[in-house]
Chain A
Amino acid sequence: SQTIHQWPATLVQPVGSPLSLECTVEGTSNPNLYWYRQAAGRGLQLLFYSVGIGQISSEVPQNLSASRPQDRQFILSSKKLLLSDSGFYLCAWSRAGARQPQHFGDGTRLSIL
């Protein structure tokens, strides 16, 4: 069976510090990978998605970047965090193909001080 791991579960960072969140998927190959942010009381916002190694699409301009160095590894990064980067970050995967469901990790709660 397939599993998705996301870490850390919680993170408290000062403004201006760098960020690296990691997501890995097991039990499948060549998945589509996604990073979402969920703000309090708001729906999920898609930040980045990737259909293959080194292929990243950004949905919104922002202070964050994403990379996919390996087939089942997806990393969300920032060089300098802003207060507005606080939120709940979720990684998801799906099999290639538009009719496939998405499956989510447990999320990372990021607080910026």
Chain B
Amino acid sequence: KQEVTQIPAALSVPEGENLVLNCSFTDSAIYNLQWFRQDPGKGLTSLLLIQSSQREQTSGRLNASLDKSSGRSTLYIAASQPGDSATYLCAVRPLNTGNQFYFGTGTSLTVIP
């Protein structure tokens, strides 16, 4: 069974700092990996989707990379802002269970003004 881990569970940084969030998964046989943002008490907002054939995706100050063979993905946030404070989750979609997404437990990010 696919297991997804996100370390650290919580991260606090000063405003303006660049930061990296990590996601690891145990089975590299995936269709894709998706990064989400979740604000307290809210649903998930999709940030980036990386297909298994891709190495990275970019959107504004966000850049997500995927190393499928090593079972790792990173979400890079440039010039962090207080509005980036949220929980960030990653999810993978395995090849053998096409309708099942496996989620990590997230990294809670606080950007200090």
CA distance A49 to B100 in the complex (A): 8
Selected contact of A98 from candidates B31, B46, B91, B105, CB within 8 Å: B31
Q: Judge whether A106 and B31 touch: CB under 8 Å.
A: no
With the chains together, A105 CA to B32 CA distance in Å?
A: 21
The stretch that binds B, out of A38-46, A61-69, A76-84, is A38-46
Choose one: A32, A42, A92, A109; the contact of B41 (CB below 8 Å).
Answer: A109
List which A33-64 residues lie within 8 A (CB) of chain B. 34, 41-44, 46, 49, 51, 57, 59
> How many positions in chain A have a CB within 8 Å of any CB in the partner chain?
25
In chain B, positions 59-113 with a C-beta closer than 8 Å to chain A are 89, 91, 93, 95, 98-101, 103-106
Contact between B104 and A32 (Cβ–Cβ < 8 Å)?
no
The SS class assigned to the A binding surface is: strand
- Binary interface encoding of chain A residues 71-109 relative to chain B, with 1 for a CB under 8 A from any of its CBs, else 0: 000000000000000001010100000110111111101
Contacts of B44 in A (CB 8 A): 90, 92, 104
Interface pair A99/B31, CB less than 8 Å apart: yes
Contacting pair A107 B98 (CB below 8 A): no
Complex CA distance for A32 and B101, rounded to whole angstroms: 13
A102→B34 contact, CB < 8 A:
yes
Q: Is the CB of B43 within 8 A of A107?
A: yes
**Contact between A41 and B93, CB atoms less than 8 A apart:** no
Residues from chain A with a CB closer than 8 A to the CB of B45 are: 104
Knowing A43-B106, A99-B32, A102-B91, the reply to whether A107 touches B42 (Cβ < 8 A) is yes
Q: What is B's interface to A at a CB cutoff of 8 Å?
A: 4, 31-32, 34, 36, 41-46, 49, 51, 89, 91, 93, 95, 98-101, 103-106
A41-B105, A104-B43 given. 5 additional CB < 8 A pairs?
A: A44-B91, A102-B46, A104-B46, A107-B43, A109-B41
